[in-house]
Amino acid sequence: QVQLVQSGAEVKKPGASVKVSCKASGYTFTSYGISWVRQAPGQGLEWMGWISAYNGNTNYAQKLQGRVTMTTDTSTSTAYMELRSLRSDDTAVYYCARGSLGCSGGSCYSIFDPWGQGTLVTVSS
Amino acid sequence: EIVLTQSPGTLSLSPGERATLSCRASQSVSSSYLAWYQQKPGQAPRLLIYGASSRATGIPDRFSGSGSGTDFTLTISRLEPEDFAVYYCQQYGSSSWTFGQGTKVEIK
């Protein structure tokens, strides 16, 4: 079955960097994209960015531009999200999701499915 | 950036009742790119509806989506105990995605 398995929880100090991994299985990795979404404690969902696993093209949320880098390793079907210069308000659960974006047979679609289990990143001094 | 506003913030209903959740966009959204997700406590979100009205694989037919332009609706025809959760709408446009702030459906 299609599955995304993320790396474990992290505790970081302000100013540090974190790199979260997302290993995909059960489908052809390069046929889809990966989106990253985060959720601060008790808050809603915030889209962070998208990477095409086919060609490595990325789109990042404007507020994170310059601090976030998304990459993929097609040899291991793994996506990575690195966030730098961490602040306390970066404390959140970080999710990866398989992304489908395109048009086929005259209809277009945008789908995030399935999602990884989430990785808690805590930023604290 | 397109802002999605969901209402109400919280919906208090009993099992068996009908739930109607609203998602309003700050500007017109392509129906093709409007999705709904369900999230239960401690779990990752799950895709319910894409293309404004298409149910994802395995989603029961008591869930339905409708709408166009700036107004979209998720309807749960008869609430089951497992449907009490938070629901988010999401849109794609101009190479970015945004989510609404969520509607919590709680047991009355």
Q: What's the mean pLDDT when you consider all of chain A?
A: 96
Output the pLDDT for position A106. 78
B34-39 vs B4-7, strand pairing mode: unpaired
Residues of B in contact with A47 (CB under 8 A): 90, 96-99
The minimum CA-CA distance between B100 and chain A, rounded to whole Å, is 8
pLDDT of A107 strictly over 90: no
Output the pLDDT for position A108. 85
Range A77-82 average pLDDT: 98
| Calpha distance A57→A7 (Å, rounded) | 23
pLDDT of B13 strictly over 90: yes
Residue in B32, B45, B50 nearest the CB of A45: B45
pLDDT tens across A22-56, in order?
999 999 999 999 999 999 999 999 999 999 999 99
Closest by CA to B107, choosing from B13, B10, B20, is B13
Contact between A110 and B35 using a beta-carbon 8 Å cutoff: yes
* Geometric angle at alpha carbon B53, from A100 and B19, rounded to 5°: 120
Contact between B56 and A113 using a beta-carbon 8 Å cutoff: yes
pLDDT of A103 strictly over 90: no
Instruction: Give the side-chain half-sphere CA count within 13 A for B78.
Output: 2
Output the pLDDT for position B64. 98
pLDDT tens across B59-91, in order?
999 999 999 999 999 999 999 999 999 999 999
Contact between B96 and A112 using a beta-carbon 8 Å cutoff: no
